[in-house]
Amino acid sequence: MKVAAIVPAYNEEHTIGPVIEALLECPLLHEIIVVSDGSEDRTAEVARRYPVKVIELTENVGKGGAMKAGAQQTTCEVLLFVDADLVGLHKEHIEALLAPVLSGKTAMSIGVFSEGRRTTDLAQKLAPHLSGQRAVLKDLFDQVPNLERSGYGVEVALTQFAERHNVDIVRVHLPTVSQIMKEEKRGLVKGLGSRLKMYWEIVRSLRI
């Protein structure tokens, strides 16, 4: 099966490069798609320095909408989603995340941080279903309703849909991988605002 990696990105000019470089090192990927979700910085410009497809959305539609836009641009049977603000990502992590899906063991796998930063490790231990790192069969992804309006609740929507359809989701440990916190990227006030928005969209998805 062919694999397309999709990277939804909103104002991630400082971290998008290393993430793309890690993806380019993985021989299992047939296509890499970066979706700049209405970014106001140089995210799209940085991504275009690499041999990847770049989709530049004119408005910020939210993470779910960006992921949906990327998925619509590929015919690959497997979709790999990774966040644009990862630190410590290597091809071995990508291969491990893809293995359960490519082997036919499951239709969806979720990456869980470990041995990285204490804050991100703890968050994913408490709620692994919120991880943005996952591989999923495109046929399954395309069936999930209203993803374009799910925002940060997209991971909850994907996980709940898979569980309702009896998909045995496989959790894959991603040692030494972590993320930059929103408060670090955007400052305390803006970062906290973004975090509160994320929590609201997650709660909204749980209520659907």
**pLDDT computed for residue 126 by the predictor:** 47
- Domains of the chain (ranges plus CATH)? 3-181 (3.90.550.10)
**pLDDT computed for residue 127 by the predictor:** 55
**pLDDT computed for residue 187 by the predictor:** 54
Token pair 């990508």: residue = 94
**pLDDT computed for residue 101 by the predictor:** 98
**pLDDT computed for residue 135 by the predictor:** 98
**pLDDT computed for residue 125 by the predictor:** 52
The low-confidence residues of the chain, meaning pLDDT below 50, are 116, 120-121, 126, 191, 195, 200, 202, 207-208
Write out pLDDT tens, residues 146-181. Answer: 888 876 788 988 999 999 999 999 999 999 898 876
Phi, psi of 28 (to 5 degrees): -80, -15
Token pair 């490519």: residue = 102
